[in-house]
């Protein structure tokens, strides 16, 4: 694993953006695996700015996102599809039909997981961007998830519900279930870019880099990926 430690969140985001710009320039029809959450916002802001100011085009780019809450759709401002449209897709020239997320409103969730797995089998991510949960989750693969899992329905861990409650009016409003890519779908990416900032991620980052490869800390599976880059700020790297 390549490890890059930057002083601040802004520098972490800049380094992530440089990797993304290099890929999109080299391969304007790349498949980008994307994440939601607070961590990649600085990266997405830079992609939008670069598109506006330098004309980097996303019209032939395709995207696949990691996850979505069950029961939330594009009309809900807490859904991940809403987040992605607001923070990235609607601010680039990417056609909407090129963007993919699991459908949290699907009537049959099992069938929706199968649809997403088929889609992923046909579009390998050239890069997969990841954040990390304070409990070491990646996407919504909570501790204990088998490394061989593909897209599945997950009951969110109590710690994830607490962490994500900051983005909802009340903790009770955080959906208890989500659809998530599995670790196998993530590991299928050609290249992985995992970002982490802030002291509350330091313990998980330590497990990711130095801990045993264990299903108890899902991100540790990335030690087995042949092309994984971790970019962290100093606070998240403080236990390395
Ligand atoms: C988001 C996702 C999650 C987040 C993680 C960190 O699509 O899959 O694994 O990356 O929970 O979230 P933030 O960045 O909000 O700290």
Would you report the helix, strand and coil content of the chain in percent, each value rounded to 5? 40, 20, 40
Instruction: Copy the structure tokens of residue 14.
Output: 């800049």
Q: What number does the ligand 1 atom closest to the CA of 137 have?
A: 9
From ligand 1's centre to the CA of 131, what distance in Å?
5
Label residue 101 by pLDDT band (50, 70, 90). very high
Q: What number does the ligand 1 atom closest to the CA of 40 have?
A: 14
Mean pLDDT computed over every residue of the chain: 97
As a whole number of angstroms, the distance between CA 10 and CA 18 comes to: 12
Q: Is 171 helix (H, G, I), strand (E, B) or coil?
A: helix
pLDDT at residue number 28: 98
Predicted TM-score (pTM) above 0.95: yes
Label residue 144 by pLDDT band (50, 70, 90). very high
As a whole number of angstroms, the distance between CA 229 and CA 223 comes to: 10
Boundaries of every domain in the chain: 2-233
Residue pLDDT, tens place only, 194-217: 999 999 999 999 999 999 999 999
- Is the CATH number of domain 2-233 3.50.50.60? no
Which residue has its alpha carbon closest to ligand 1 atom 3?
A: 139
As a whole number of angstroms, the distance between CA 84 and CA 74 comes to: 10
């Amino acid at each position: 694993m390549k490890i890059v430690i930057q002083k601040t969140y802004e520098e972490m985001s800049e380094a992530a953006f440089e990797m993304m710009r290099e890929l999109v320039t080299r391969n304007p029809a790349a498949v980008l695996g994307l994440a939601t959450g607070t961590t990649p916002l600085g990266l997405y802001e830079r992609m939008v700015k670069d598109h506006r100011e330098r004309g980097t085009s996303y019209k032939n780019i395709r995207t696949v996102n990691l996850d979505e809450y069950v029961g939330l759709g594009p009309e809900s401002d807490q859904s991940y599809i809403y987040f992605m449209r607001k923070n990235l897709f609607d601010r680039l020239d990417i056609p909407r039909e090129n963007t993919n997320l699991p459908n949290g409103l699907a009537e049959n969730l099992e069938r929706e997981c199968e649809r997403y797995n088929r889609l992923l089998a046909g579009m390998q991510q050239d890069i997969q961007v990841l954040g990390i949960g304070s409990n070491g989750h990646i996407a919504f693969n909570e501790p204990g998830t088998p490394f061989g899992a593909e897209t599945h329905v997950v009951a969110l861990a109590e710690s994830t519900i607490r962490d994500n409650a900051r983005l909802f009016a009340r903790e009770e409003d955080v959906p208890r279930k989500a659809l998530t890519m599995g670790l196998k779908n993530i590991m299928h990416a050609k290249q992985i870019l995992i970002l982490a900032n802030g002291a509350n991620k330091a313990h998980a980052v330590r497990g990711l880099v130095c801990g045993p490869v264990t299903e108890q800390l899902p991100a540790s599976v990335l030690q087995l990926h042949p092309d994984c880059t971790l970019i962290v700020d100093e606070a998240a790297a403080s236990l390395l």
